[in-house]
A and B are shown apart, each in its own frame.
Chain A
Amino acid sequence: MFKILKRNFGYIFILFLAIVPLIMWYFMSPLGVRFSSQSTAFRSLGQATGLLGMSLLSLNFILAARFKFMDRAFSGLNIVYIKHSLIGAVSFCLLLFHPIFLVVQYFLISLKSSLLFLFSFSDWSINYGEIALLVFILLMAITFYFHFKYQNWKNTHKFLGIVLLLGSLHMFLVTSDISNNDVLKYYMLVLAILGGVSYFYRTIFGIYKKNEYQYKLESVVRVNDDVVELRLLPFSRKIKYKAGQFVFVRFNPTTQSGNGVLAESHPFSVTSHPDDKYLILTIKTLGDYTSMVYLLKPGAVCSIEGPFGAFSYKNSASMKQVWVAGGIGVTPFLSMARQINFDKMSKDYQIDLFYCIKNKDEAVYWEEFSEISIQNPNFKFHQFYSDTEGRVSAEYILKNLSDSLGIEIFLCGPAGFMQSLRNQFVKLGFNNSKIYSEEFSLSI
C-alpha cells in the first residue's frame, strides 16, 4: 500500500491540489442551500465544474513543463505525460460542462436570459471565458480528432497558454464564489500563476536553458528496415543516466543536417550502458519525425535533455527479475543487459529476458542478447514468436522460469500487451507493486 502511494506520489499530490478549491467551496455554503432548488443546483454544478476544471488545467501546465522533480515524483516522466493527457481530457470535459450547467440555470429563469448569457457578449468577464473555451475546443479537436504530425500538433498545443490566460481572467473577473472568497481567490491565483510560470519555462525560457548536454552525431547505424541507431559523442559534459532511462533530443537547426522537423524536441530510448563512451539512441522509424533521422549526417549537433524515466533494474529490491519486452519495447532492456554485462557489481542479478516479436525478421539485437547470455550464466534469453506461438501469456513465462519465487517483473511494449500481462500476473497471485512497466507513448 505504502509503496503504491510512494510510486504515485506525484499524481496523488496533484489530484489533492486540484480538489482543495472544491473543498473550500464546499465549506463556503451548506450543500442544502446550494442544491435547494433546481436552478441553484445547476448553478452549483456549474461552479463546481468550473472550479475543478480550472484547477486541473492550471496544474496540467506544471505537468507539461518536464521538470526534473516530476520524473521522481511520478516514477518516470512518461507517466507524467500519461497523467497529463488524462488530466487534460478530464479538465476539458469539466470546463465544457461548466457553461452547460449555467445555461440550464439561466434557462430555468427564461429562455431569453439563457440566450443573453451565451450570446450577448456584452460582459467581458464572460467573454474571456467564452473565447478561452472556444480556443480550448479547437485545440482539443486537433489533439483528439485530427492526427497532425507530431511537431505540428506540438506547435498547436502551445496555444493552450491562451486558454489558461483567458480562463484565469474569466475566473477572477466573473462574479462567483471565487470573487467572494479571498482564500479561494488567492489559492486559484497561485495555481494559475504556477501554471503560467511553467508554461513560460517550457515555451520561452526553455530555449535558453543551460542544463542541456551538447552532443555530436558520430554515425547513424541501420539495425534493420525499421530500426535505426544514433551514436553520439559529447562535446564536453557527459550526461549521467541509469540503464533503462530515456532522453529528449533536439537537433541544432543551424547544422547542415538539422532541418526544421528534427529541431523539435523528441524522446528517445537510450540503449547504451552508462559507462559507454557513446550515447546510443535506438528508435523505430515509424512516425514522420523518426523517419527523418535517415536524413541526419555525421557531425550534426544536438541538445540532450534528461535523463528521464524510473524504469531500471536497479530500482527493484529483488535481484531475481523477469524482463518481458514486446517489439521495440526491448530498447530499455538492451541498455540494462549491456550494463549488467559490463558492470561487475551487477553480475549477481538473475535475469530472464523474454523477447516477444512476430517473427525472426522483426528481431533486433538478438545476436547481442545471445552473446550476453553466453558470457553471463545468470542472464537467460528467451525469444517468443507470436506468429507461430500465439500471444504470450504469464503462464508461458512462469513455465519457462527455473524458479519464480521472489521475482519482480519488468514489462515494456505496447500498452495493451503490458496491461494484459500485468492482469494475468496479478491473477496468478503476483503483487501489483512488484510489476514495473514502462508506458512509452509520449505523443498521443
Chain B
Amino acid sequence: MKKYITATLFIFFAITLAVLTAGMLSKNNISQQLSGLPTPDVSDGKTVSGVSGVTSSKNSISLTKVELAKHNSAQSCWLLISGKIYDVSRFLNMHPGDSSSIIPTCGTDATVAYDVQGPASKAHTHSSNATSMLADYFIGNLNQNISTGTAGSSTATTSNTSSTSNTNPKPVVTTPKPPVVSTTTLTMSELAKHSSSQSCWLLISGDIYDVTSFLNLHPGQASSILPTCGTDATVAYNTQGPASGPHAHSSNARAMLGNYFIGNLNQNVNTPAPGTNPTTSPTQPRPRGGDEFDD
C-alpha cells in the first residue's frame, strides 16, 4: 500500500507545483488577479478587439440587447451580467450548479440570477472564484462594438487582452445609454429619505448603497437591515455578520454589496428617472471597476 501512497503523493505534489510554477511564469496577469482584481474592466465604449482599439471592422458586431437575445440556447449562450456580456456556451457543462440552472437565462440579463442564485449553502452568491472564472468568458460591454474572428462564431476572440487596459475607477457613475437623468447629491439628508423597505439606502464606510432590491435576499432576514435604512450602517454591517461566522460579513457579502453601490457620501450622481430602481436596471454599469470583489 505504501507504494500506492508514494505514487499518489508524488502525483499530487507534481500537479500542485506544476500549477503553481505555470502560474508564476505567467504572473503578470495572474498575480494581479490573485491580489484582488478578478474581473477585467473595460472602459465604456472602448472597442475591444484581438489586439487593440484599432481594428479591421469587417466582422464587427454591436453587442446590443437584440444581438444578446439571439444567443439564448445551450448551443450559444450569452449572458448579460452587470452590463457585461459573457459567452458561457463552453462553460454550461462545467457549471457546478448544473447547466439547467443557466440555460433559462441565456440571451437575457442574468445579473440578478447570477447574484442571488449562487450555491445554496453559501449565502446565495457566487464566489469570487466564480466571478474571476466568468471573466474568461467575457466578450464585451453592452452596446459596445467588437470584432469577431469569424463571422457568426459565438466564441469571440476578444476577451482577456483587455484586462491589461485597466482604467482607473471612475468617481462619478455614468450610464452608457443616455437615459432620463437627474443629478442628486448624496448628502446625509438625502440618505435619510431612503429609510423604508420601499427605498432603503445604507451608508457603509463612506459609501452609499441602495439595497432595496436586496432586502428580501438577505440571508439574515430583511428585518435585520430595515432599522438601519437611511442611516450610517457601518458598525452594524461590520459586527452583525452571520452568527456562525466571526460576526462579520464575508468577502462574498462584500462583493455582493458592490452591486448595490450608488456613490460616495456627498458625491453627485446621475440617477435614473424616479420610479425606476437603479439596482435592477440591466444597463447599470459596475460603477467602481472590479474592486468590489476585493477580498
Contacts and interface: CB of A to CB of B under 8 A. Distances in A.
B121 interface: yes
Interface stretch (B23-31, B146-154, B228-236, B271-279): B23-31
A118 B33 contact: no
A103 B14 CA distance: 12
B20 A179 contact: no
A110 B19 CA distance: 11
Given A144-B2, A144-B5, A175-B121, A112 B96 contact: no
Interface string B220-254: 00000000000000000000000000000011000
Most buried by B among A99, A110, A125: A110
A175 B34 contact: no
Interface stretch (A88-96, A315-323, A407-415): A88-96
Contact of A120 (B11, B15, B129): B129
Q: By DSSP majority rule, is chain B's interface helix, strand, loop, or mixed?
A: helix
A225 interface: no
A241 B5 CA distance: 38
Given A37-B93, A106-B133, A111-B30, 17 more contacts: A36-B93, A40-B94, A43-B94, A96-B8, A96-B9, A97-B12, A99-B12, A109-B133, A112-B33, A119-B20, A120-B129, A122-B128, A122-B129, A125-B122, A174-B121, A175-B97, A175-B121
A174 B93 CA distance: 18
Interface of B: 1-2, 4-6, 8-9, 11-12, 15-16, 19-20, 22-23, 26, 29-30, 33-34, 38, 91, 93-94, 96-98, 118-122, 127-129, 132-133, 136, 250-251, 295
A175 to B, nearest CB: 4
Nearest to B31: A115
Contacts of A40: 93-94
A179 B9 contact: no
Nearest to B11: A100
B5 A86 contact: no
Given A37-B93, A100-B15, A107-B19, A179 B120 contact: yes
A172 B4 CA distance: 28
B119 to A, nearest CB: 4
Contacts of A141: 9
A105 interface: yes
A376 interface: no
A151 interface: no
A36 B133 CA distance: 21
B30 A123 contact: no
B19 A111 contact: yes
Given A111-B19, A175-B96, A93 B132 contact: no
Contacts of A168: none
B53 to A, nearest CB: 24
A108 to B, nearest CB: 8
15 contacts: A33-B93, A86-B1, A93-B8, A99-B12, A109-B133, A110-B133, A111-B26, A112-B29, A112-B33, A115-B19, A115-B20, A117-B129, A118-B16, A123-B129, A180-B120
A97 B97 CA distance: 22
A137 B5 contact: no
B73 to A, nearest CB: 17
